[in-house]
A and B are shown apart, each in its own frame.
Chain A
Amino acid sequence: MQSLSNRAKKLEAKPMTLAERAYLPAIFQGLSITMRHFFRAATKKQVTVRYPEEKRPFSPIFRGLHVLKRDEQGRERCTACGLCAVACPAEAITMVAGERKKGEENLYREEKYAVSYEVNMLRCIFCGLCEEACPKAAVYLQPDKMAPPRFERDEFIYGKDRLVEPVDPSARSIRGIQLTPEQAQTLSQRLAH
Protein backbone atom coordinates (compact mmCIF):
# COMPACT_ATOMS: atom_id res chain seq x y z
CA MET A 1 0.00 0.00 0.00
CA GLN A 2 1.21 3.47 -0.84
CA SER A 3 2.05 5.48 2.25
CA LEU A 4 0.34 8.88 2.25
CA SER A 5 2.64 10.69 4.63
CA ASN A 6 5.89 8.85 3.93
CA ARG A 7 6.32 8.59 7.68
CA ALA A 8 5.34 4.92 7.94
CA LYS A 9 8.05 2.80 9.49
CA LYS A 10 8.81 -0.57 8.03
CA LEU A 11 8.93 -3.12 10.84
CA GLU A 12 10.10 -6.65 10.55
CA ALA A 13 10.03 -9.33 13.20
CA LYS A 14 13.60 -10.12 14.08
CA PRO A 15 14.40 -13.44 15.71
CA MET A 16 14.73 -12.94 19.46
CA THR A 17 18.16 -12.86 20.99
CA LEU A 18 19.11 -15.33 23.71
CA ALA A 19 18.59 -12.72 26.42
CA GLU A 20 15.11 -12.02 25.10
CA ARG A 21 14.27 -15.70 24.87
CA ALA A 22 15.40 -16.28 28.43
CA TYR A 23 12.64 -13.87 29.60
CA LEU A 24 14.51 -13.18 32.82
CA PRO A 25 16.16 -9.83 31.92
CA ALA A 26 12.84 -8.45 30.73
CA ILE A 27 11.14 -9.80 33.85
CA PHE A 28 13.64 -8.10 36.14
CA GLN A 29 13.23 -4.89 34.19
CA GLY A 30 9.49 -5.05 34.73
CA LEU A 31 9.91 -5.91 38.39
CA SER A 32 12.17 -2.92 38.93
CA ILE A 33 9.60 -0.62 37.33
CA THR A 34 6.79 -1.84 39.56
CA MET A 35 9.06 -1.63 42.60
CA ARG A 36 9.78 1.99 41.82
CA HIS A 37 6.05 2.64 41.76
CA PHE A 38 5.66 0.74 45.03
CA PHE A 39 8.11 3.02 46.81
CA ARG A 40 6.66 6.10 45.22
CA ALA A 41 3.20 5.17 46.46
CA ALA A 42 4.53 4.17 49.86
CA THR A 43 6.39 7.42 50.35
CA LYS A 44 4.47 10.21 48.70
CA LYS A 45 2.59 10.26 45.44
CA GLN A 46 -0.72 8.45 45.40
CA VAL A 47 -3.28 9.50 42.84
CA THR A 48 -6.18 8.44 45.03
CA VAL A 49 -8.41 11.14 46.54
CA ARG A 50 -10.03 9.75 49.71
CA TYR A 51 -13.38 11.26 48.76
CA PRO A 52 -15.59 12.00 51.73
CA GLU A 53 -12.70 13.29 53.82
CA GLU A 54 -10.76 14.86 51.01
CA LYS A 55 -12.31 16.70 48.09
CA ARG A 56 -10.73 17.55 44.81
CA PRO A 57 -10.71 21.38 44.50
CA PHE A 58 -13.16 22.77 41.97
CA SER A 59 -11.98 24.96 39.17
CA PRO A 60 -12.58 28.67 39.98
CA ILE A 61 -14.85 28.95 36.93
CA PHE A 62 -16.85 25.82 37.79
CA ARG A 63 -20.63 26.27 37.40
CA GLY A 64 -22.50 24.37 40.05
CA LEU A 65 -25.68 24.78 42.03
CA HIS A 66 -27.71 28.00 41.56
CA VAL A 67 -28.03 30.64 44.21
CA LEU A 68 -30.40 33.63 44.44
CA LYS A 69 -28.38 36.48 45.87
CA ARG A 70 -29.33 39.11 48.41
CA ASP A 71 -28.12 42.70 48.27
CA GLU A 72 -26.01 44.61 50.81
CA GLN A 73 -29.04 45.13 53.04
CA GLY A 74 -30.10 41.50 52.96
CA ARG A 75 -32.99 41.97 50.48
CA GLU A 76 -33.65 39.56 47.64
CA ARG A 77 -32.37 40.98 44.41
CA CYS A 78 -34.64 39.01 42.06
CA THR A 79 -37.43 40.95 40.48
CA ALA A 80 -39.02 38.04 38.62
CA CYS A 81 -38.50 39.55 35.19
CA GLY A 82 -38.26 36.08 33.63
CA LEU A 83 -35.22 36.79 31.48
CA CYS A 84 -33.38 33.84 32.97
CA ALA A 85 -36.25 31.51 32.16
CA VAL A 86 -36.26 32.81 28.59
CA ALA A 87 -32.51 32.48 28.27
CA CYS A 88 -32.49 28.94 29.65
CA PRO A 89 -31.91 26.50 26.77
CA ALA A 90 -33.09 23.57 28.87
CA GLU A 91 -36.24 25.30 30.15
CA ALA A 92 -35.35 24.42 33.67
CA ILE A 93 -36.49 27.64 35.36
CA THR A 94 -40.05 28.55 36.27
CA MET A 95 -41.24 31.41 38.44
CA VAL A 96 -44.32 33.16 39.69
CA ALA A 97 -44.13 36.93 40.11
CA GLY A 98 -45.86 38.89 42.85
CA GLU A 99 -46.20 42.49 44.00
CA ARG A 100 -44.36 43.70 47.05
CA LYS A 101 -46.74 44.73 49.85
CA LYS A 102 -46.23 47.66 52.15
CA GLY A 103 -43.84 46.80 54.96
CA GLU A 104 -41.95 44.24 52.90
CA GLU A 105 -39.34 46.73 51.72
CA ASN A 106 -36.68 45.12 53.86
CA LEU A 107 -37.36 41.72 52.24
CA TYR A 108 -37.45 42.48 48.52
CA ARG A 109 -35.43 45.16 46.78
CA GLU A 110 -37.77 45.74 43.83
CA GLU A 111 -41.52 46.36 43.79
CA LYS A 112 -42.03 43.07 42.01
CA TYR A 113 -40.52 39.91 43.34
CA ALA A 114 -40.56 36.15 42.78
CA VAL A 115 -43.20 34.45 44.90
CA SER A 116 -41.85 31.11 43.75
CA TYR A 117 -38.71 30.40 41.80
CA GLU A 118 -37.95 26.82 40.85
CA VAL A 119 -35.00 25.28 39.04
CA ASN A 120 -35.25 21.67 37.89
CA MET A 121 -31.74 20.36 38.43
CA LEU A 122 -32.42 17.34 36.23
CA ARG A 123 -33.14 19.60 33.26
CA CYS A 124 -30.47 22.17 34.00
CA ILE A 125 -27.31 21.85 31.93
CA PHE A 126 -25.36 24.35 34.08
CA CYS A 127 -24.50 26.51 31.07
CA GLY A 128 -24.68 29.78 33.02
CA LEU A 129 -26.87 31.64 30.50
CA CYS A 130 -29.31 32.60 33.29
CA GLU A 131 -26.41 34.22 35.09
CA GLU A 132 -25.57 36.25 31.99
CA ALA A 133 -29.20 37.18 31.31
CA CYS A 134 -29.98 38.47 34.80
CA PRO A 135 -30.17 42.31 34.84
CA LYS A 136 -30.33 42.45 38.64
CA ALA A 137 -27.30 40.28 39.36
CA ALA A 138 -29.57 37.96 41.29
CA VAL A 139 -28.92 34.44 40.01
CA TYR A 140 -25.49 32.86 40.01
CA LEU A 141 -24.06 29.37 39.65
CA GLN A 142 -21.86 28.63 42.66
CA PRO A 143 -18.33 27.37 41.96
CA ASP A 144 -18.18 25.21 45.09
CA LYS A 145 -21.49 23.35 45.28
CA MET A 146 -23.11 20.62 43.20
CA ALA A 147 -26.63 19.25 43.16
CA PRO A 148 -26.25 16.14 45.29
CA PRO A 149 -27.77 12.80 44.23
CA ARG A 150 -31.30 12.06 45.46
CA PHE A 151 -33.66 9.13 45.37
CA GLU A 152 -36.81 10.96 44.18
CA ARG A 153 -37.26 13.03 41.06
CA ASP A 154 -39.21 15.86 42.73
CA GLU A 155 -36.35 16.35 45.15
CA PHE A 156 -34.38 17.76 42.23
CA ILE A 157 -36.75 20.68 41.80
CA TYR A 158 -35.14 23.33 43.92
CA GLY A 159 -37.48 26.00 45.25
CA LYS A 160 -36.68 29.29 46.90
CA ASP A 161 -36.15 27.55 50.23
CA ARG A 162 -33.00 25.96 48.85
CA LEU A 163 -31.98 28.61 46.30
CA VAL A 164 -32.04 31.92 48.16
CA GLU A 165 -28.77 32.50 49.87
CA PRO A 166 -28.69 32.46 53.67
CA VAL A 167 -29.30 35.66 55.57
CA ASP A 168 -26.08 35.25 57.52
CA PRO A 169 -23.41 36.80 55.26
CA SER A 170 -20.62 34.54 56.47
CA ALA A 171 -22.50 31.45 55.24
CA ARG A 172 -22.87 32.81 51.72
CA SER A 173 -21.28 31.62 48.52
CA ILE A 174 -18.33 33.55 47.20
CA ARG A 175 -19.60 33.81 43.64
CA GLY A 176 -21.43 36.84 42.34
CA ILE A 177 -21.92 40.03 44.34
CA GLN A 178 -19.25 39.88 46.95
CA LEU A 179 -19.76 42.00 50.02
CA THR A 180 -16.75 43.87 51.35
CA PRO A 181 -15.87 42.91 54.92
CA GLU A 182 -17.25 46.23 56.18
CA GLN A 183 -20.53 45.75 54.35
CA ALA A 184 -20.82 42.24 55.69
CA GLN A 185 -20.18 43.47 59.19
CA THR A 186 -22.73 46.26 59.09
CA LEU A 187 -25.26 43.89 57.57
CA SER A 188 -24.83 41.30 60.28
CA GLN A 189 -25.10 44.02 62.94
CA ARG A 190 -28.30 45.27 61.38
CA LEU A 191 -29.72 41.77 61.29
CA ALA A 192 -28.79 41.14 64.88
CA HIS A 193 -30.99 44.06 66.08
Chain B
Amino acid sequence: MAQARGQKPKTKSQKPTMIELPTLGWQSIVILVVFGVSLLIATYCTYAERVIAAFLQDRVGPDRAGPFGLLQPLADAVKLFTKEEFFPAGANRALFVLGPCLAMITALMSSAVIPFGNVIQFGTNVFNLQGIEVNIGMLWVFGIVSLGVYGVMIGGWASNNKFSLLGAIRAGSQNISYELAMGMSLIAVLMISGTLSLREITLQQSVAGEWHFWNIVKQPLGFIIFLVCAFAETNRTPFDLPECETELVGGYHTEYSSMKMGLYLFAEYVNVFVASAVMSVLYFGGFNFPFQYELRDWLVSAQGWELVSAQNLISILGLLLLFGKIFAFIFFFMWVRWTLPRFRYDQLMRLGWTILIPLAIFNILLTGGLILGGIIK
Protein backbone atom coordinates (compact mmCIF):
# COMPACT_ATOMS: atom_id res chain seq x y z
CA MET B 1 0.00 0.00 0.00
CA ALA B 2 2.71 2.42 1.12
CA GLN B 3 4.68 1.62 -1.97
CA ALA B 4 1.73 2.25 -4.18
CA ARG B 5 1.13 5.57 -2.49
CA GLY B 6 4.73 6.50 -2.91
CA GLN B 7 4.64 5.63 -6.56
CA LYS B 8 1.69 7.78 -7.39
CA PRO B 9 3.46 11.14 -7.76
CA LYS B 10 6.06 9.45 -9.95
CA THR B 11 3.54 8.26 -12.49
CA LYS B 12 1.98 11.70 -12.55
CA SER B 13 5.27 13.44 -13.10
CA GLN B 14 5.97 11.20 -16.04
CA LYS B 15 3.27 12.84 -18.13
CA PRO B 16 2.70 16.30 -16.74
CA THR B 17 0.67 17.64 -19.67
CA MET B 18 -2.00 14.97 -19.42
CA ILE B 19 -4.92 15.87 -17.21
CA GLU B 20 -6.20 12.70 -15.64
CA LEU B 21 -9.65 13.15 -14.26
CA PRO B 22 -11.33 9.96 -13.14
CA THR B 23 -14.92 9.63 -14.15
CA LEU B 24 -16.10 9.80 -10.56
CA GLY B 25 -14.23 13.05 -9.98
CA TRP B 26 -15.66 14.56 -13.13
CA GLN B 27 -19.12 13.43 -12.21
CA SER B 28 -18.91 14.95 -8.75
CA ILE B 29 -17.75 18.23 -10.25
CA VAL B 30 -20.65 18.16 -12.70
CA ILE B 31 -23.09 17.31 -9.94
CA LEU B 32 -21.85 20.19 -7.81
CA VAL B 33 -22.09 22.56 -10.76
CA VAL B 34 -25.57 21.28 -11.60
CA PHE B 35 -26.70 21.79 -8.00
CA GLY B 36 -25.15 25.22 -7.93
CA VAL B 37 -26.74 26.20 -11.22
CA SER B 38 -30.13 24.81 -10.16
CA LEU B 39 -29.98 26.81 -6.94
CA LEU B 40 -28.83 29.94 -8.74
CA ILE B 41 -31.62 29.64 -11.26
CA ALA B 42 -34.13 28.99 -8.47
CA THR B 43 -32.84 32.09 -6.67
CA TYR B 44 -33.26 34.26 -9.69
CA CYS B 45 -36.62 32.66 -10.45
CA THR B 46 -37.97 34.44 -7.39
CA TYR B 47 -36.75 37.70 -8.86
CA ALA B 48 -37.91 36.84 -12.37
CA GLU B 49 -41.32 35.82 -11.11
CA ARG B 50 -41.84 39.16 -9.43
CA VAL B 51 -40.59 41.18 -12.37
CA ILE B 52 -42.65 39.16 -14.85
CA ALA B 53 -45.71 39.43 -12.64
CA ALA B 54 -45.18 43.16 -12.45
CA PHE B 55 -44.71 43.55 -16.20
CA LEU B 56 -47.81 41.49 -16.94
CA GLN B 57 -49.73 43.88 -14.71
CA ASP B 58 -48.16 47.08 -16.13
CA ARG B 59 -46.05 47.57 -13.02
CA VAL B 60 -42.32 47.87 -12.41
CA GLY B 61 -41.47 45.14 -9.91
CA PRO B 62 -38.59 45.13 -7.42
CA ASP B 63 -36.00 47.69 -8.49
CA ARG B 64 -34.59 48.97 -5.20
CA ALA B 65 -31.89 46.46 -4.28
CA GLY B 66 -28.99 46.92 -6.66
CA PRO B 67 -29.25 47.81 -10.34
CA PHE B 68 -32.69 46.78 -11.65
CA GLY B 69 -33.24 45.12 -8.26
CA LEU B 70 -30.85 42.32 -9.17
CA LEU B 71 -29.74 41.94 -5.55
CA GLN B 72 -33.34 41.34 -4.46
CA PRO B 73 -32.86 37.54 -4.04
CA LEU B 74 -29.92 38.29 -1.73
CA ALA B 75 -32.07 40.63 0.33
CA ASP B 76 -34.80 37.98 0.45
CA ALA B 77 -32.32 35.38 1.64
CA VAL B 78 -31.06 37.67 4.40
CA LYS B 79 -34.63 38.32 5.42
CA LEU B 80 -35.50 34.63 5.51
CA PHE B 81 -32.34 33.69 7.43
CA THR B 82 -32.90 36.31 10.10
CA LYS B 83 -36.55 35.47 10.70
CA GLU B 84 -37.59 33.65 13.83
CA GLU B 85 -37.45 29.86 13.73
CA PHE B 86 -40.95 28.95 14.75
CA PHE B 87 -42.21 25.58 15.89
CA PRO B 88 -45.97 25.34 16.37
CA ALA B 89 -47.23 23.81 19.62
CA GLY B 90 -47.88 20.10 19.27
CA ALA B 91 -45.83 19.81 16.13
CA ASN B 92 -43.67 16.79 15.55
CA ARG B 93 -40.33 18.56 15.61
CA ALA B 94 -38.27 15.97 13.77
CA LEU B 95 -40.76 15.58 10.95
CA PHE B 96 -41.36 19.32 10.91
CA VAL B 97 -37.69 19.83 10.06
CA LEU B 98 -37.55 16.82 7.75
CA GLY B 99 -40.36 18.08 5.51
CA PRO B 100 -38.62 21.06 3.85
CA CYS B 101 -35.29 19.19 3.76
CA LEU B 102 -36.90 16.33 1.87
CA ALA B 103 -38.62 18.71 -0.52
CA MET B 104 -35.34 20.42 -1.30
CA ILE B 105 -33.25 17.22 -1.57
CA THR B 106 -35.65 15.50 -3.94
CA ALA B 107 -35.98 18.63 -6.03
CA LEU B 108 -32.21 18.83 -6.46
CA MET B 109 -31.69 15.08 -6.96
CA SER B 110 -33.87 14.88 -10.03
CA SER B 111 -31.59 17.30 -11.89
CA ALA B 112 -28.71 14.80 -11.71
CA VAL B 113 -29.69 12.75 -14.77
CA ILE B 114 -30.56 15.59 -17.12
CA PRO B 115 -28.16 15.75 -20.05
CA PHE B 116 -27.24 19.40 -20.19
CA GLY B 117 -24.94 18.97 -23.14
CA ASN B 118 -23.26 16.56 -25.46
CA VAL B 119 -19.76 15.22 -24.84
CA ILE B 120 -16.73 17.42 -24.36
CA GLN B 121 -13.36 15.98 -25.33
CA PHE B 122 -9.98 16.89 -23.84
CA GLY B 123 -7.28 14.86 -25.55
CA THR B 124 -8.39 11.28 -25.15
CA ASN B 125 -10.76 11.97 -22.29
CA VAL B 126 -14.41 12.22 -23.19
CA PHE B 127 -16.70 13.84 -20.64
CA ASN B 128 -20.46 13.94 -20.53
CA LEU B 129 -22.05 17.24 -19.60
CA GLN B 130 -24.39 15.34 -17.34
CA GLY B 131 -24.38 14.30 -13.70
CA ILE B 132 -25.02 10.61 -14.07
CA GLU B 133 -25.67 8.79 -17.31
CA VAL B 134 -28.06 5.97 -16.46
CA ASN B 135 -30.19 3.92 -18.78
CA ILE B 136 -33.26 4.56 -16.60
CA GLY B 137 -32.95 8.33 -16.52
CA MET B 138 -36.64 9.04 -17.05
CA LEU B 139 -37.67 6.53 -14.38
CA TRP B 140 -35.22 8.18 -11.99
CA VAL B 141 -36.83 11.58 -12.56
CA PHE B 142 -40.28 10.11 -12.04
CA GLY B 143 -39.28 8.24 -8.90
CA ILE B 144 -37.63 11.26 -7.33
CA VAL B 145 -40.49 13.58 -8.24
CA SER B 146 -42.94 11.16 -6.62
CA LEU B 147 -40.75 11.15 -3.52
CA GLY B 148 -40.92 14.93 -3.53
CA VAL B 149 -44.53 14.80 -2.48
CA TYR B 150 -43.39 13.25 0.81
CA GLY B 151 -41.71 16.52 1.68
CA VAL B 152 -45.02 18.32 1.30
CA MET B 153 -47.04 15.57 3.01
CA ILE B 154 -44.70 15.25 6.00
CA GLY B 155 -44.38 19.00 6.41
CA GLY B 156 -48.14 19.46 6.26
CA TRP B 157 -48.86 16.64 8.66
CA ALA B 158 -46.17 17.56 11.19
CA SER B 159 -47.42 21.14 11.44
CA ASN B 160 -50.40 20.10 13.59
CA ASN B 161 -52.60 22.54 11.70
CA LYS B 162 -55.78 21.80 9.79
CA PHE B 163 -54.92 24.10 6.90
CA SER B 164 -51.52 22.48 6.53
CA LEU B 165 -53.01 19.02 6.63
CA LEU B 166 -55.64 19.92 4.01
CA GLY B 167 -52.92 21.33 1.79
CA ALA B 168 -50.81 18.23 2.25
CA ILE B 169 -53.72 15.92 1.42
CA ARG B 170 -54.49 17.95 -1.66
CA ALA B 171 -50.85 17.80 -2.72
CA GLY B 172 -50.81 14.05 -2.30
CA SER B 173 -53.98 13.30 -4.22
CA GLN B 174 -53.19 15.85 -6.90
CA ASN B 175 -49.71 14.50 -7.54
CA ILE B 176 -50.91 10.91 -7.68
CA SER B 177 -53.70 11.80 -10.11
CA TYR B 178 -51.53 13.78 -12.46
CA GLU B 179 -48.57 11.43 -12.32
CA LEU B 180 -50.74 8.81 -14.02
CA ALA B 181 -51.53 10.97 -17.01
CA MET B 182 -47.96 12.23 -17.09
CA GLY B 183 -46.56 8.71 -17.12
CA MET B 184 -48.93 7.65 -19.86
CA SER B 185 -48.07 10.60 -22.06
CA LEU B 186 -44.46 9.62 -21.52
CA ILE B 187 -45.11 6.04 -22.60
CA ALA B 188 -45.89 7.32 -26.08
CA VAL B 189 -42.46 9.01 -26.18
CA LEU B 190 -40.82 5.81 -24.99
CA MET B 191 -42.62 3.86 -27.73
CA ILE B 192 -40.91 6.07 -30.28
CA SER B 193 -37.51 6.19 -28.66
CA GLY B 194 -37.33 2.69 -27.24
CA THR B 195 -35.14 3.81 -24.35
CA LEU B 196 -35.47 5.44 -20.95
CA SER B 197 -32.10 7.12 -21.08
CA LEU B 198 -32.54 10.87 -21.41
CA ARG B 199 -29.27 11.14 -23.34
CA GLU B 200 -30.41 8.52 -25.83
CA ILE B 201 -33.76 10.23 -26.23
CA THR B 202 -31.98 13.51 -26.89
CA LEU B 203 -29.56 12.05 -29.39
CA GLN B 204 -32.36 10.32 -31.28
CA GLN B 205 -34.04 13.66 -31.90
CA SER B 206 -31.27 14.76 -34.23
CA VAL B 207 -29.28 12.41 -36.42
CA ALA B 208 -26.53 13.58 -38.73
CA GLY B 209 -27.28 13.51 -42.42
CA GLU B 210 -31.03 13.01 -42.35
CA TRP B 211 -34.17 14.95 -41.61
CA HIS B 212 -35.13 14.32 -38.04
CA PHE B 213 -37.75 16.09 -36.06
CA TRP B 214 -37.94 16.88 -32.38
CA ASN B 215 -40.45 14.83 -30.47
CA ILE B 216 -42.88 17.75 -30.28
CA VAL B 217 -43.67 17.16 -33.96
CA LYS B 218 -44.40 13.49 -33.36
CA GLN B 219 -46.14 13.95 -30.03
CA PRO B 220 -48.09 17.23 -29.96
CA LEU B 221 -50.96 15.80 -27.92
CA GLY B 222 -48.59 14.00 -25.58
CA PHE B 223 -46.69 17.23 -25.04
CA ILE B 224 -49.81 19.16 -24.08
CA ILE B 225 -50.77 16.46 -21.59
CA PHE B 226 -47.24 16.39 -20.21
CA LEU B 227 -47.19 20.17 -19.92
CA VAL B 228 -50.48 20.32 -18.04
CA CYS B 229 -49.32 17.55 -15.72
CA ALA B 230 -46.01 19.31 -15.17
CA PHE B 231 -47.92 22.33 -13.93
CA ALA B 232 -49.82 20.10 -11.52
CA GLU B 233 -46.70 18.24 -10.39
CA THR B 234 -44.84 21.42 -9.55
CA ASN B 235 -47.89 22.84 -7.75
CA ARG B 236 -47.97 25.90 -9.94
CA THR B 237 -51.03 27.96 -10.82
CA PRO B 238 -53.62 27.01 -12.09
CA PHE B 239 -53.03 23.86 -10.04
CA ASP B 240 -51.55 25.40 -6.89
CA LEU B 241 -54.27 23.98 -4.66
CA PRO B 242 -51.87 22.61 -2.02
CA GLU B 243 -50.88 26.14 -1.05
CA CYS B 244 -53.77 28.24 -2.30
CA GLU B 245 -53.71 31.36 -0.18
CA THR B 246 -57.36 32.24 -0.57
CA GLU B 247 -58.62 29.02 0.98
CA LEU B 248 -55.85 27.47 3.04
CA VAL B 249 -53.84 30.48 4.29
CA GLY B 250 -50.57 29.03 2.98
CA GLY B 251 -51.47 25.38 2.55
CA TYR B 252 -48.82 22.94 3.66
CA HIS B 253 -46.34 25.68 4.59
CA THR B 254 -48.75 27.74 6.70
CA GLU B 255 -46.78 27.09 9.90
CA TYR B 256 -43.34 27.45 8.38
CA SER B 257 -41.13 30.47 8.85
CA SER B 258 -37.53 31.43 8.31
CA MET B 259 -35.34 29.36 6.01
CA LYS B 260 -37.55 26.26 6.32
CA MET B 261 -40.17 28.27 4.48
CA GLY B 262 -37.43 29.39 2.13
CA LEU B 263 -36.53 25.78 1.37
CA TYR B 264 -40.11 25.01 0.38
CA LEU B 265 -40.28 28.03 -1.89
CA PHE B 266 -36.88 27.19 -3.34
CA ALA B 267 -37.84 23.57 -3.89
CA GLU B 268 -40.81 24.74 -5.93
CA TYR B 269 -38.58 26.78 -8.21
CA VAL B 270 -36.02 23.99 -8.51
CA ASN B 271 -38.91 21.72 -9.48
CA VAL B 272 -39.99 24.23 -12.10
CA PHE B 273 -36.44 24.29 -13.43
CA VAL B 274 -36.24 20.49 -13.56
CA ALA B 275 -39.67 20.19 -15.17
CA SER B 276 -38.63 22.74 -17.79
CA ALA B 277 -35.41 20.84 -18.41
CA VAL B 278 -37.23 17.51 -18.74
CA MET B 279 -39.73 18.98 -21.17
CA SER B 280 -36.93 20.54 -23.24
CA VAL B 281 -35.11 17.22 -23.34
CA LEU B 282 -38.12 15.03 -24.06
CA TYR B 283 -39.95 17.15 -26.57
CA PHE B 284 -37.72 20.00 -27.74
CA GLY B 285 -34.55 18.22 -28.70
CA GLY B 286 -32.54 18.86 -25.53
CA PHE B 287 -29.11 20.17 -26.46
CA ASN B 288 -29.70 19.69 -30.17
CA PHE B 289 -30.26 22.64 -32.41
CA PRO B 290 -31.07 22.82 -36.12
CA PHE B 291 -28.15 22.49 -38.54
CA GLN B 292 -25.64 21.61 -35.85
CA TYR B 293 -23.97 18.93 -37.96
CA GLU B 294 -23.85 21.24 -40.95
CA LEU B 295 -22.21 23.89 -38.74
CA ARG B 296 -19.66 21.35 -37.47
CA ASP B 297 -18.83 20.12 -40.96
CA TRP B 298 -18.55 23.67 -42.22
CA LEU B 299 -16.14 24.55 -39.39
CA VAL B 300 -14.04 21.50 -40.19
CA SER B 301 -14.02 21.81 -43.97
CA ALA B 302 -14.15 25.56 -44.59
CA GLN B 303 -12.48 26.96 -41.47
CA GLY B 304 -9.93 24.20 -40.98
CA TRP B 305 -10.91 23.42 -37.38
CA GLU B 306 -10.12 20.09 -35.81
CA LEU B 307 -13.10 17.80 -35.57
CA VAL B 308 -12.74 17.57 -31.78
CA SER B 309 -12.74 21.31 -31.15
CA ALA B 310 -15.61 21.80 -33.59
CA GLN B 311 -17.56 19.12 -31.73
CA ASN B 312 -16.72 20.80 -28.40
CA LEU B 313 -17.97 24.13 -29.73
CA ILE B 314 -21.21 22.49 -30.85
CA SER B 315 -21.58 20.93 -27.40
CA ILE B 316 -21.13 24.26 -25.66
CA LEU B 317 -23.54 26.00 -28.04
CA GLY B 318 -26.00 23.17 -27.40
CA LEU B 319 -25.58 23.61 -23.66
CA LEU B 320 -26.38 27.32 -23.93
CA LEU B 321 -29.34 26.62 -26.20
CA LEU B 322 -30.73 24.04 -23.82
CA PHE B 323 -30.63 26.69 -21.12
CA GLY B 324 -32.39 29.03 -23.52
CA LYS B 325 -35.15 26.46 -23.95
CA ILE B 326 -35.34 25.93 -20.19
CA PHE B 327 -35.64 29.66 -19.56
CA ALA B 328 -38.38 29.88 -22.17
CA PHE B 329 -40.28 27.18 -20.31
CA ILE B 330 -39.72 28.85 -16.95
CA PHE B 331 -41.04 32.06 -18.46
CA PHE B 332 -44.06 30.14 -19.71
CA PHE B 333 -44.68 28.76 -16.22
CA MET B 334 -44.69 32.28 -14.84
CA TRP B 335 -46.68 33.71 -17.72
CA VAL B 336 -49.42 31.14 -17.11
CA ARG B 337 -49.32 31.76 -13.38
CA TRP B 338 -50.16 35.42 -13.83
CA THR B 339 -52.81 34.75 -16.45
CA LEU B 340 -55.02 31.91 -15.27
CA PRO B 341 -57.10 31.67 -12.13
CA ARG B 342 -56.89 28.63 -9.90
CA PHE B 343 -58.93 25.52 -10.62
CA ARG B 344 -61.57 24.42 -8.15
CA TYR B 345 -60.68 21.14 -6.48
CA ASP B 346 -63.39 19.06 -8.15
CA GLN B 347 -62.54 20.63 -11.52
CA LEU B 348 -58.93 19.67 -10.97
CA MET B 349 -59.80 16.06 -10.25
CA ARG B 350 -62.27 15.89 -13.15
CA LEU B 351 -59.68 17.28 -15.54
CA GLY B 352 -57.09 14.81 -14.34
CA TRP B 353 -59.14 11.63 -14.24
CA THR B 354 -61.82 12.04 -16.91
CA ILE B 355 -59.99 14.10 -19.51
CA LEU B 356 -56.22 13.81 -19.30
CA ILE B 357 -55.94 10.10 -18.58
CA PRO B 358 -58.33 9.03 -21.39
CA LEU B 359 -56.55 11.46 -23.71
CA ALA B 360 -53.20 9.97 -22.73
CA ILE B 361 -54.47 6.46 -23.40
CA PHE B 362 -55.83 7.61 -26.74
CA ASN B 363 -52.43 9.13 -27.48
CA ILE B 364 -50.73 5.81 -26.75
CA LEU B 365 -53.12 4.00 -29.11
CA LEU B 366 -52.64 6.64 -31.78
CA THR B 367 -48.86 6.48 -31.49
CA GLY B 368 -48.95 2.70 -31.64
CA GLY B 369 -51.10 2.82 -34.75
CA LEU B 370 -48.80 5.34 -36.42
CA ILE B 371 -45.74 3.26 -35.58
CA LEU B 372 -47.43 0.15 -36.97
CA GLY B 373 -48.37 2.05 -40.10
CA GLY B 374 -44.76 3.17 -40.44
CA ILE B 375 -45.69 6.86 -40.44
CA ILE B 376 -43.47 7.73 -37.48
CA LYS B 377 -40.58 5.77 -36.12
Q: Which residues of A line the B interface, CB within 8 A? A: 24, 27, 30-31, 33-35, 37-38, 40-42, 45-48, 50
Contact = CB atoms under 8 A, between A and B. Distances in A.
B335 A41 contact: no
The 3 closest A-B pairs by CB, nearest first: A41-B55, A48-B60, A34-B339
Nearest to A47: B58
B357 to A, nearest CB: 16
Contacts of A37: 55-58
30 contacts: A27-B336, A27-B339, A30-B340, A31-B336, A31-B339, A33-B339, A34-B56, A34-B335, A34-B339, A37-B55, A37-B57, A37-B58, A38-B55, A38-B56, A40-B58, A41-B54, A41-B57, A41-B58, A41-B59, A41-B60, A42-B55, A45-B58, A46-B58, A46-B59, A46-B60, A47-B58, A47-B59, A48-B59, A48-B60, A50-B63
Contacts of B340: 27, 30
Interface of B: 52, 54-60, 63, 224, 335-336, 338-340
Contact of B338 (A24, A34, A46): A34
Contacts of A41: 54-60
Contacts of A50: 60, 63
A31 B335 contact: yes
Contacts of A47: 58-59
Contacts of A38: 52, 55-56, 335
A46 B51 CA distance: 12
Contacts, number: 43
A153 to B, nearest CB: 31
Contacts of B59: 41, 46-48
A42 B331 CA distance: 15
Contacts of A42: 55
A45 B60 CA distance: 10
Nearest to A21: B355
B158 to A, nearest CB: 36
Contacts of B52: 38
Contacts of A30: 339-340
Nearest to B59: A48
Contacts of A40: 58
Contacts of B54: 41
A35 B335 contact: yes
Nearest to A31: B339
Nearest to B57: A37
Contacts of B63: 50
The CB with the most chain B CB atoms within 10 A, among A24, A34, A42, is that of A34
Nearest to B63: A50
Nearest to A40: B58
Nearest to B347: A23
Nearest to B238: A27
Given A31-B339, A38-B52, A41-B58, 19 more contacts: A24-B224, A27-B336, A27-B340, A33-B339, A34-B56, A34-B335, A34-B338, A35-B56, A35-B335, A37-B55, A38-B56, A40-B58, A41-B57, A41-B59, A45-B58, A46-B58, A46-B59, A46-B60, A47-B59
Nearest to B64: A50
A40 B60 CA distance: 11
Nearest to A49: B60
Nearest to B343: A23
Contacts of A27: 336, 339-340
Contacts of B335: 31, 34-35, 38
A161 to B, nearest CB: 35
Nearest to A36: B56
Contacts of B56: 34-35, 37-38, 41
A59 B229 CA distance: 53
Contacts of A45: 58
A52 to B, nearest CB: 10
Nearest to B336: A31
A34 B53 CA distance: 10
Contacts of B338: 34
Nearest to A22: B355
A51 to B, nearest CB: 11
A50 B54 CA distance: 14
A42 B338 CA distance: 16
A45 B339 CA distance: 19
A4 B59 CA distance: 43
